Amino acid sequence: MPFQKQSSVLHKFKGILYSTMCSEELLKSLDFFNAREDDVFLVSYPKSGTHWVAEVIENIPNVSMSLTSPIELGDISKFEELNMYRKRRVIPTHLSYNMLPMNIKQKQCKIIYIVRNPKDTAVSLFHYYRDNPNLPGIETWAGFLELFLRGDVVYGSWFDHVLSWEEHKNDKNILIIFYEEMKKDLSKSIKKIINFLGINVSDSEINKITRKTSFSEMKNNAAKENCDPNHTICALTTNRNLVFRKGAVGDWINYFTSKQKRVFDELFTEKMKHSELARHFEDSS
C-alpha cells in the first residue's frame, strides 16, 4: 500500500509510521517528559500483550497505582495530564527503546517489556488493521504480511523494535515477559511481575489475580468497560472490544502459506541471528 493511502491515519516520524492520534509535536517533545523514579512503564510492540499485563497490575490488591493512557497518545498537553496523577503511575507505550524519553532511562524507572511470537503478532495486527478505523484499510493477509515484513506498519519493524529492547535485557530496571509464558503459566508470570515491582502479595491473592486476568475473563470485562475513556491503554484505539480477539498462541498456522512461512523464517533468521530472545520462538515457529 503506497504511503499516500495511509497518510490520512498514519504519519512518519524519524522513518517510523505512527498513528495520527500520536501527534508529531508530542513525539518531538518526548525528551522533555519528566519521569518520576517510581514510574512503571509497560512496553511492547503492538498486539503483544500490554493490556494483559496492565490488567494484572490493576488487580494487585492494596497497591496505590494509577494506569495512565500511553505516553505518546495525544498532543503536547499529555505531560500536563500525566503530571496530574498523584499515585504511582503505570504508563503504557509501544515506543522502541531509542524513542523512549531520556529521563526514563536516567532515572532507571522500572520497565516491563512484553514480547510475543512475531507470526502471531503479525496475524493479530492484521485483524487490528481491518477492524480499527484509526488504521489504514487492508484488503488481504498477503498484502499486509508484505508490509509487516518491510516494517511499513505502525511502530515499524517488529525485529528492530524487539532488538532495540533486547540490547538492554540485562539492565536491572527492565523485566522481559513472554506472552506465550503468560498463556502457559499465568500465575508464574504474575509472581515475576509482582517481585519485580517489589510488592508483597500472598499466594491466595495471586490465585485470585490469575482467575480475574484469564483471557476469557478480560474479554468479557472489555464489553462492560468499553465506555470508560479512562481505560485507554492503547495508542491506536479507545475501543476495548477491538483489543481482545483470540489471544491464541500458534494461530498463525491458519494464515501462513508454506511459502510465506519460508520467507518469514528466512528474514527472522537473518535479522535475529545474534538474538537470545529469538531462541524462545524457535520451538513454536
Indicate the domain borders of the chain: 3-282
Rounded Cα distance between 132 and 96, Å, is 22
Query: If you ran DSSP here, which 8-state letter would residue 154 be given?
Result: B
- pLDDT higher than 80, residue 110: yes
For residue 230, pLDDT over 70 is answered with no
Q: pLDDT class for 4, splitting at 50, 70, 90?
A: very low
Q: Is 231 tagged catalytic?
A: no
Catalytic residue among 11, 51, 94, 231, which? Answer: 94
The pLDDT value recorded for residue 1 is: 44
pLDDT of 117-154, one tens digit each?
Answer: 999 999 999 988 888 888 888 889 999 999 999 999 99
- Which pLDDT band, with edges at 50, 70 and 90, does 221 fall under? low
The answer to whether residue 237 scores a pLDDT higher than 60 is no
- Model confidence band, residue 3 (pLDDT cutoffs 50, 70, 90): very low
Instruction: Quickly state the pLDDT bin for 280 (edges 50, 70, 90).
Output: confident
In angstroms, the CA 260 to CA 282 distance is 17
Closest CA to 55 of 42, 46, 71: 42
Whether the CB-CB separation of 91 and 153 falls below 8 Å is answered with no
Residue 21 pLDDT: 92
How far, in Å, CA of 277 to CA of 247, rounded?
A: 21
Q: Are 213 and 83 in contact (CB under 8 A)?
A: no
Q: pLDDT of 165-216, one tens digit each?
A: 999 999 999 999 999 999 999 999 999 999 999 999 999 999 999 988 876 6
Q: Lowest-confidence range among 74-83, 156-165, 227-236?
A: 227-236
For 240, which DSSP code?
G
Q: How far apart are CA 271 and CA 91, in angstroms?
A: 29
Residue type, 85: Y
Is pLDDT above 60 for 277? yes
Q: How far is CA 105 from the centre of its chain?
A: 19
- The answer to whether the beta carbons of residues 33 and 101 sit under 8 Å apart is yes
pLDDT at res. 2: 43
**For range 17-46, the mean pLDDT:** 96
- pLDDT of 134: 82
pLDDT of residue 258: 96
**Residue at 266: amino acid letter:** E
Closest C-alpha to 94, from 236, 277, 194, 222:
236
For residues 254 and 260, the answer to whether their CB atoms sit within 8 Å is no
Q: Residue 91 in contact with residue 82, Cβ under 8 Å?
A: yes
Confidence check: pLDDT of 245 > 60:
no
Fold of 3-282: Rossmann fold (3.40.50)
